[in-house]
Structure 1
Amino acid sequence: MLLLLLLLLFSGTKLWHLVKNHDLPLRFWVNVIKNPQFVFDIHKSSITDACLSVVAQTFMDSCSTSEHRLGKDSPSNKLLYAKDIPNYKSWVERYYRDIAKMPSISDQDMDAYLVEQSRLHGNEFNTLSALSELYFYINKYKEEILTALDRDGYCRKHKLRHKLEQAINLMSGSS
């Protein structure tokens, strides 16, 4: 339940955009792209590994918000798809813009959905491991996260900083 609370804490902040745009691609999708053997029962040859590294780099560059200056000393894997990156970036921007335009759901509907998902998948998920990972991540970036919660009007209104501090204190007391 704490995991769900922490996810909801960041749903209304600019920090959530950073998490969506950086951690999800970097920690999940790039890992799956570069290591398909984690998902599929396959052997990855060195040639396949090199090709997947290029695809993963292209994906990371497409999700990046910064501009990459390329020159004669740039790695070949960045040069290979350099002309396509602006097009891919526009796809990523449109994806997030479309999500932002979606109607928001009520807290009650979200709670009901999360409770149902928790019931359906409760035995498939190592909650303690997930909580531990979230705790270490939040503890590492605690000041930045708390500052972001202070700056966001929605978060101040719902006292999310206080709720997160309570969760951190609860987790640090049980570790």
Structure 2
Amino acid sequence: MFHITIINILEWQEGRAGKLTLNDNDNTSERNNGLVCLNTLKHYMVKDNSRMALMYKQHDDRTDNANPTAFKEESLVSEDITLLMPEDVECSELEGEKWHLSNVPAGQSNTDPDFGDIFLNRLFLTKLLLSECIDTTFESLIDPQSLSIPIRYFIGMLDKLGKTYGVEQDVLQSWKNECYATRVWAPLIGKPDILFDVSVPAYVGPCMDILKQVFVESFTQTAHKVNKESPPQKLLFHKDIPRYRKPIGPFFIRLEPVTDKEFWSEMDEISDKQKSELRFSRQSALHQLYNLYIGKYKSQIINDLEDIEEASNIKLASKLEEVIKLMEETSTTC
């Protein structure tokens, strides 16, 4: 019983001799020491904005019996996904090893697929499907109206420090970019389960890491260059990152300053809300803060509190020493 299958053919409709079918492997392919270079658009000298057409052709299985070799050559054209891998041993022996943009290193077989190229294509498709959601999220993160009072207060504090110590504007901008993008949002974008009660599957983690790196890259001031060694996020978003960077400068300029009174009022409101809505354990939080920060850097923290005039006036350093002593006694008795 014979079957008719449909194969895809890419046709260049503006070739030098009229319409030309673009094959991955033909008589004009570059061959060297048993290696066959798969044809590219550059090989056919196809120019930008050329007219192309994806044609469909019926293939009758009866031709396999009439001319098996011809079908093997035809199948190389029809299979556009497994081109970098020989279809079988006979075809591999007949045509030799194949390579695409870079030659196969000596002693390495080309039968192993380059999964990086396959995954990159899938990432591009996923990015296109999620582009609207990604753009909306990034736009909301740089909306001055939606920025919380504590973050605005912190950025304003950086401005005051820069003005007090005569910090150059470029350095001050780097401070803001680093703190807001890297310290505030990058951890939450990369691991949303830190803030939300959600389960992040293992295969979603790398995708969230790419979005995190793109957001951080949007806040950098270095030139955005792409080459074949660039990480996936630069390849996926190399056209989007310049667009993301444009509103960053105006974003910090448009931030409304926050007074000390507004800041502490907001913190009190947040604290009261936590008490009423959550079962918050002060003892557990204190132990975590002590183990993560105070226990490791107690000497530096105490010295800084003694040097800061506001902290020195209310004797924060001595109060912290009492807390440290109490924590050490508690850990000893436990």
- State the TM-score bracket (shorter-chain normalisation): 0.5 to 0.7
Determine the C-alpha separation between the residues in 2 that align with 1:33 and 1:112.
27
Residue 148 of structure 1: aligned partner: 304
Determine the C-alpha separation between the residues in 2 that align with 1:91 and 1:115.
32
Residue type matched to 2:279 in 1?
A: E
Q: Confirm or deny: 8 A CA contact 2:274 2:280 kept in the other structure.
A: no
Residue 159 of structure 1: aligned partner: 315
Determine the C-alpha separation between the residues in 2 that align with 1:37 and 1:118.
19
User: Is 1:126–2:277 an aligned residue pair?
Assistant: no
2:259 is paired with a residue whose SS is: coil
Question: Aligned residues, how many?
Answer: 152
Listed one character per residue, the Cα deviations across residues 144-164 of structure 1 (whole Å, up to 9, x for unaligned) are: 222221222111122111111
Q: CA deviation at 1:168?
A: 1.4
Specify every segment of 5 or more residues in structure 2 that has no aligned partner in the other structure, as ranges.
1-153, 162-174
Residue type matched to 2:287 in 1?
A: S
Q: CA deviation at 1:75?
A: 3.8
User: Is 1:44–2:215 an aligned residue pair?
Assistant: no
Higher relative contact order (CA 8 A, sep 6+): 1
1:102 is paired with a residue whose SS is: coil
1:72-87 mapped onto 2 (5 Å cutoff): 75-77=231-233, 80=237, 83=242, 87=246
Determine the C-alpha separation between the residues in 2 that align with 1:92 and 1:141.
34
Q: Confirm or deny: 8 A CA contact 1:58 1:85 kept in the other structure.
A: no
Decide which structure has the larger Cα Rg and report it.
2
Given the superposition, is the C-alpha separation of residues 58 and 128 from structure 1 closer, same or farther in structure 2, using an over 3 Å criterion? farther
TM-score by length of 1: 0.57
Given the superposition, is the C-alpha separation of residues 119 and 54 from structure 1 closer, same or farther in structure 2, using an over 3 Å criterion? closer
Deviates more, 1:49-58 or 1:70-79: 70-79
Determine the C-alpha separation between the residues in 2 that align with 1:91 and 1:161.
39
Listed one character per residue, the Cα deviations across residues 51-84 of structure 1 (whole Å, up to 9, x for unaligned) are: 21022224455678xx768776664436746646
1:1-175 mapped onto 2 (5 Å cutoff): 26=183, 29-37=185-193, 39-42=196-199, 44=201, 46=203, 48-60=204-216, 75-77=231-233, 80=237, 83=242, 87=246, 90=249, 93-94=252-253, 98=256, 101-105=257-261, 113=269, 116-117=272-273, 119-121=275-277, 124-136=279-291, 137-175=293-331
Given the superposition, is the C-alpha separation of residues 111 and 77 from structure 1 closer, same or farther in structure 2, using an over 3 Å criterion? closer
Q: CA RMSD in A?
A: 4.3
Residue type matched to 1:131 in 2?
A: L
Determine the C-alpha separation between the residues in 2 that align with 1:125 and 1:85.
38
Determine the C-alpha separation between the residues in 2 that align with 1:167 and 1:143.
13
Listed one character per residue, the Cα deviations across residues 91-119 of structure 1 (whole Å, up to 9, x for unaligned) are: 77558x64xx312229x968965774464
